[in-house]
Amino acid sequence: MTRRLRIILVFFTALTVLLVGRLAWVQIVWGPEFAAKAQQQRARVYVEPARRGEVTDRHGNQLAYTMQARSLTISPQVLRSELTEQQDLAMRMDGMSREQIDAEIDERVEDVLVTMSQEIPAMIEEAGAITGEVKEEEILEKLQADSTYEVLVRNVDPDVAAEIAATFHGVAADHQDIRQYPNGAIAENVLGKVSMDGQGQFGFETSGDAMLSGINGRSTEDVSTNGQVIPGTLRDVVPAVDGAAVELSLDLDLQTYVQQLLEQAKTNSQADSAEAVVLDVATGEVLAMANTDTIDPNGNIERQLRAGKDFENQTISHPYEPGSVAKIITAAATLEEGLTTPDEVHQVPGSIHMAGVTVNDAWAHGVVPYTTTGIFGKSSNVGTLMLAERLGEDRFADYLQRFGIGQTTGIELPNESSGLLPAREQWSGGTFANLPIGQGMSFTTLQMASIYQALANGGERIEPRIVRSVTNPDGTEQELAEPDRTQVVSPDTARATIDMFRSIMQDDPGGLQMGTGANGAVPGYQTSGKTGTAQKVDPNTGAYSNSDYWITFAGVAPADDPRFVVAVMVDEPTRGVEEGGGGGQSSAPIFRDIASWLLDRDNIPTSPPMEDLLILHAQ
């Protein structure tokens, strides 16, 4: 073998060893990493969105549900690049020169974009596949955008979206769930809404998001370089778990009536706002929870927000001083402690001095022989404080705690306020001169309704609830925690208190035995309740205003066999809540109308007539 041949042989042997070593290195050392990268490039993870659970009222009427739809999306930059390539190829096949192509290609691409902007809205409109107008100029602007992703149109019918995606190059029909609120603004303060990505934003959609949203499914599949699915590669399949269906305790018909009534009352009285809560006495369930200026989620949100509408549920989030409607706590406590009886006669002066504070009645008078029933039927501040002094601060504080004042109710909704109650150790003499007559503390309309529910329910306060049942996707029903119950006063005391507060609705042509809420009486039924007029604090002086008020009312219907509690608040009315501004400065007519509607709708038997007038003013 010649020297040259040996050199060549050594060289090729070394080269072979080098190549084999390199190959071994790639396969053994780098192989797993390259295999993983290849797998990653081939693999596609698909997400199967879970269907959000529907929300219904107590009778199965839909309040919120999810409808499948599609969003038409594009990548404008990629689309224009691909259209340019397509037009370039077509023009070359037509035999056009490079100079001609360069001169005309941009115009041809623009013509395609204009055609798309005209035909996509036309196809959607012809099919009636979306609510609202799809504007050509907005579509064209997105097609011309300098971006990698644009949503052309949301909420398109799946079949129409698929047809559009098949017709126009570069348009994709992405899965989208649309949350529907078929009743518009009705109960929207309770329901809230979801965001564009399906997350709860307000109301029960937020607090109930975990049970409503479900769990998305996932699967993995390999695709080739041209995007074709490789058969037999489907793996890691996790099915979607849809959200639970929730039945609320709301009554849609009642909620609709109450919201309409409140809007009318606000207009009639020229008030800033109005709100009401209706509870089932025996269960504490919320049958209606309404306030004015509730937004319609199906309308133009921005325009409605500018007009003063919102998603707030003021019945639980906006506490206020209740005024005389809270005197029922003092009444029940003194009866429970055996410190008075409904018929006891008190010599009530026109004012009372407590710890350096002078409190007057709302009308000037000398010493008047009011019964205990009359103190509350006439809404005497002085008489109420006389009874409160018998009770004492410590026992009164205990009853406030039993009735839930200064505490959240635990309702299954977000942003509930606990209201305001000064800590017992912070009380002064002036504090005790205010609290028994409904000043110096604040609570929400729901809390106010809860106080009256306790007394109407034999003295047992049941924490109000709005979720009636939760049903899993497989049809099984979730076990819900029982609401807390508190025996605030004895059944006998509760019955005596409710009977005593029938005096508020009492009418007397002579005026002597007339209560402050006679215009809240329901013909044919015994009803019980209390009016309230709470002065607001003037922000300029820090003192109570003589012109701005919260007007409250809470009552029970029927009083002889309690079924419903209705609590109402009207904020700063300038006249009455009835048509034309009639009805006086009182929320009682709203109670009357709601109670009448309920009693009539549910065919509640009329009450036995009262034998005699309750004695308010002793002779």
The first and second tokens of residue 578, run together, are 């009835």
Residue 562 CA to its chain's centroid (Å): 28
Cα dist from 356 to 394, 432, 433, 441, 527, whole Å: 19, 11, 10, 20, 38
Known catalytic residue: 324? yes
Using the CB atoms, write b or e for 107-128: b if 16+ within 10 Å.
Answer: ebbeebbeebbeebbebbeeee
For residue 101, the tally of other CB atoms under 10 A from its CB is 17
Indicate the SS3 state at residue 94. Answer: coil
Indicate the SS3 state at residue 246. Answer: strand
Instruction: Give the separation between CA 168 and CA 443, rounded to whole angstroms.
Output: 59
Question: Which single residue is written with the structure tokens 């549900």?
Answer: 65
Instruction: Give the separation between CA 428 and CA 37, rounded to whole angstroms.
Output: 75
For residue 242, the tally of other CB atoms under 10 A from its CB is 21
The first and second tokens of residue 123, run together, are 């196809």
Alpha helices (H) along 392-520: 393-402, 429-434, 445-456, 491-500
Cα dist from 181 to 131, 184, 185, 204, 472, whole Å: 13, 6, 8, 13, 21
φ, ψ of residue 106 in degrees (nearest 5): -65, -40
Instruction: Give the separation between CA 137 and CA 122, rounded to whole angstroms.
Output: 13
Instruction: Give the separation between CA 295 and CA 304, rounded to whole angstroms.
Output: 7
Would strands 273-280 and 286-291 be described as parallel, antiparallel, or unpaired? antiparallel
Q: How many CA atoms lie within 13 A of 328 on its CB side?
A: 38
φ, ψ of residue 15 in degrees (nearest 5): -65, -40
For residue 574, the tally of other CB atoms under 10 A from its CB is 11
Angle between helices 136-143 and 98-127 (to 10 degrees): 140
CA angle (81, 83, 88) in 5-degree steps? 95
Indicate the SS3 state at residue 249. Answer: coil
Of the candidates 324, 442, 586, 587, the residue annotated as catalytic is 324
Instruction: Give the separation between CA 467 and CA 30, rounded to whole angstroms.
Output: 58
Indicate the SS3 state at residue 537. Answer: strand
Give the catalytic positions in this structure.
Answer: 324
